Structures are given as structure tokens and as C-alpha cells.
Amino acid sequence: MRVFVIGLDSAPPELLFGEFLEDLPNIRRIIERSIFGPMKSCIPAITIPAWMVMATGKTPGELGLYGFRHRKGNSYRDIWIAHSLMVKEKAVWDYIIPKKSVLVGVPPSYPPKPVNGCMISCFITPDSSVNYTFPKELKAEVEKLVGEYIFDVVFRKEDRDAVIEEVREMTEKRFEVIRYLIDRDWQYFQFVEIGLDRIHHAFWKYFDTRHHLHEPDSRYKNVVRDYYKLLDKEIGKTIKLLDEDTAIVIVSDHGIKRMKGCFAVNQWLIDEGMLKIRNSRLKPGTRFEQLDVDWSRTTAWAWGGYYARIFLNVKGREPEGTIKQSEYERVREEVADMIKSIKGPNGERWNTRVFYPEDIYPVVRGDRPDMMVYFDDLYWRSAGTLGYESPYLLENDTGPDDAVHSEYGVFALHLPDMQEARHVESEIYDFAPTVLKLLGVEANLRGRSLI
């Protein structure tokens, strides 16, 4: 048995299994003969760490990965960017050795690490001038095949047509490389297509009639659907090349849904007296790094993104900490209660969720925040920037973006002998045990095999 994993970054069950399925003949054929259903992501439900949580079966706490950036120790300003060498836990492709693997774009996979097989790194690769493959020689083969390989497309710009073209080109090149690598010797093959996430974020408001900025009859209204059709066509061409004895998995790291707005969390912390700054006037869009913070009077500060990270300023831990260690739990509870009581711009109740790392992970390694926050269950993005009239922004603070993450991604597993579909509810932690079982390897992981 071989396992071929199709990773579609941010594919939500509502679209892949629902609204768009009729238009996707190749994907439909897989789904109709599979066990499939929504798959609950990790906390935080974000690309890094979610793909590695899936591949290792370990929690973000065990991996010590809580997002794309982390504080260096307890510094106020120094950060490090997540990369492949920070993943120390074994992934599926390590467990199955000596069986061989092919990996394309599984984040974070830059710099490329040796694998028993071959790999191409992911979208955190600085650009195509660096070495981005293992073995090194593969890079020349990739470039001979498709010219310059494209890792990612920045979507937050006004030139929408350019985004569509660039994402299409990136995806077509990636699938060409994937089909080329199918000829290699492997038992495990996984790729991640990031283009879907970029298309979702850039074009969501044009097709989702419930979006507060929805533009009816825009010429972009079918961009999201058309991109799913492109994926379906490429997937169809690709799975034709697989032999009979191959299991096919379709999976995503998290889902996606309409963004209701951005909440400027640092601005709120200032209003509540928890963050003290010396700047007199702030221009809209001021970044946290540009603030002159009075740390000696500050209780808490935050990082934005699709979820928020809150840091407390603790005596003996931060350089100018103010919260006594003995008061830590009490202050954290107070701040969390205040965050949970934040209401929407029209006084509406929000379903805000606050997580403490020690409560949700068995082990908490590395540079963790004191709290992670989903404002209104992720419907409200967290903006780290500030200087606005109100902390509620109806448009994204840093360029056009219409969508936020949702907690449920997708899982579908087609085995060669399956003739019908069966619904299954799964968690991201079930992926590794399921794949390992298919490949005949036992590992003691927290998830359960779905077969």
C-alpha cells in the first residue's frame, strides 16, 4: 500500500464537500468512495503549526510552535521566524523509514532537511535563488521542468487580476512538478497547495453573499469557484498516474470563513490602561514595533494575525516586568475575563475564546504566549496595528483580505477497495495514526486511526 496525500491549505468542508462538489468531478469521485468529513484543527488553527501537527501527531505545545513568529526568549521585540529545523518531533515520513517519501511544500520545510526520498521546501523559502530541495540536485531538475519555481503569491494588493494569474501559474507549475515526482520510488507522497488559501483570502467577499463587503455581480464572483475547478482538473490529471494500490487522502490544515472585521487589540489594551505608551499621536496603521512603550507601567501587550497572542509583563521574566509572579494567575484571569467580555461594534455578544497553553497541551515547550485568543470564534481578525478612531475595523488593517480561519478543515481517505462513502468526524491528531496504520507502522500517538 502507498499513500498519496493531497494537502489543500484552508479547504473548508462547506465548500469542498458542499457548495462546490458538483463542479469538481475528480474530487467527487474520490469523496464518493471514501471516509470523509470535517476535521478539527489544532489550536491555533493556522498553517504553521497545523501542517506539522498533522504530520507528527503532536500538539503545538510539544512542537514548541505557536505560529509563524515567536519571541526570542522573554524579549519585548526580538522575534524568530518558524523554520524546518525547529521541528524536532518525528513526522510520518520519519516513522516509516526505510519506506521512501516525496514531500512538496509541507510547511515549515525551509531550509530543506534530509528525508529518505526527496523534498521541495514550502512558502517560507526566501526565494528561488537559495537551495530549496533535498537532494540539492533536484532543484536543477525542477527548474528544467518549469523554469522558476513559485513558492507563494502575496495577495494583499489592489491588482486583483495579477493575483489570479500568479496563483494560477504557481499552482500549474507545482502540479507539473508533482506529476514529475510521482515516477520516483515512494510509499508516502504529500504535497500542500498554498494557492487555495491565497485565493480564499483575496476573493472571498466577491462570492460570499453574507460578507459585509460583498459586491454583487462583481467580475470576480467566480474566481474562488474557478480556482477549485483548476485544482480539480490538476488533481484529476495527477491521480491518473497512481497505481491501483494507492490510498488517496485529501486534507486541509484548517477551514476558512468570512471576516467580519479586525479588532485592534493593542489599541484596546491602551484604552483599558494595560498598555502604556509615550507617543502622543499615532497615525492609523502604526505598528506595535513603532511604539515607545513605557514597560515599567505596562501589564500586557498583544500580537495580531488570524488569532491574537497576549503577553503579560511579569517581574523576573520580562526585562521590565510589573506583575509579581505570585499575582500571575490572578492577573491572567482578570485580563482573560476582560477579553471575553469584549462586545462587537454594535454591542452584540461575541463568542470570544481564550486559551492558556498549559491547559490545552500536555507539554508546553519553547516561546509560548500567556494566552491565545479567538475573537468572536475567529470571525474577527486580530490587528496588531493601532492609531484608529475605533478598535473595530471593518476592512483589514494591512491590505485587502476578506476571510478568516475557521476551526474545521477537511479529511477524506479513499482506499482502493472502497465503493461507497462513509461520514467520519475527525481531529487533526488522527491523521498521523491513520496514515501510519496504512503503512504498517505502530506509533504511540494521542490521535486514533480512522480505519
Residues that bind another protein (CB under 8 A): 46-47, 67-69, 81, 83, 85, 97-99, 110-111, 113-114, 116, 124, 126-127, 130, 135, 137, 152, 154-157, 198, 201, 303-306, 381-385, 396-399, 401
* CB of residue 287 to another protein, shortest distance in Å: 8
Q: Whose Cβ is closer to another protein: residue 27's or residue 378's?
A: 378
State in angstroms the smallest separation of the CB of 197 from another protein.
Answer: 9
31 vs 438 by CB, closer to another protein: 438
Q: Cα separation of 434 and 448, whole Å?
A: 7
List the one residue out of 401, 308, 288 whose CA is nearest residue 350: 308
- Rounded distance, CA 330 to CA 310, Å? 15
Helix axes 195-207, 160-181, angle to 10 degrees: 140
Supply the minimum distance, in Å, between the C-beta of residue 85 and another protein: 4
Alpha-carbon distance of 405 to 204, in angstroms, equals: 12
Minimum CB separation of residue 84 from another protein in Å reads 8
Q: How far is the CB of 96 from another protein (least distance, A)?
A: 10
Nearer to another protein, 83 or 276 (CB): 83
| 47: nearest Cα among 100, 143, 124, 118 | 124
Query: What's the closest the beta carbon of residue 122 comes to another protein, in angstroms?
Result: 11
Choice between 218 and 398, CB closer to another protein: 398
CA 382 to chain CA centroid, nearest Å: 15
- Our CB check for another protein shows the closer of 82 and 177 to be 82
Between vectors from CA 173 to CA 130 and to CA 91, what angle results, nearest 5°?
A: 65
If the CB atoms of residues 256 and 412 are measured against another protein, the closer one turns out to be: 256
Cβ proximity to another protein, 126 vs 147, nearer residue: 126
Pick 9 or 62: Cβ nearer another protein: 9
Q: Which is nearer to another protein, 365 or 381 (CB)?
A: 381
User: Hunting for cell 485592534 — which residue is that?
Assistant: 264
C-alpha–C-alpha distance, residues 439 and 245, integer Å? 12
| Minimum distance, C-beta of residue 248 to another protein, in the bound complex (Å) | 24
- Comparison of 35 and 256: residue with beta carbon closer to another protein: 256
Q: Give the nearest distance from C-beta 330 to another protein in angstroms.
A: 29
Shortest approach of another protein to residue 425 CB, angstroms?
Answer: 28
**Pick 185 or 420: Cβ nearer another protein:** 185
Q: 109-140 as b/e, with b when 16 or more CB fall inside 10 Å?
A: bbbbbebebbbbbbbbbeeeeeebbbeeebbe
If we measure between CA atoms, which residue out of 145, 117, 149 comes closest to residue 131? 149
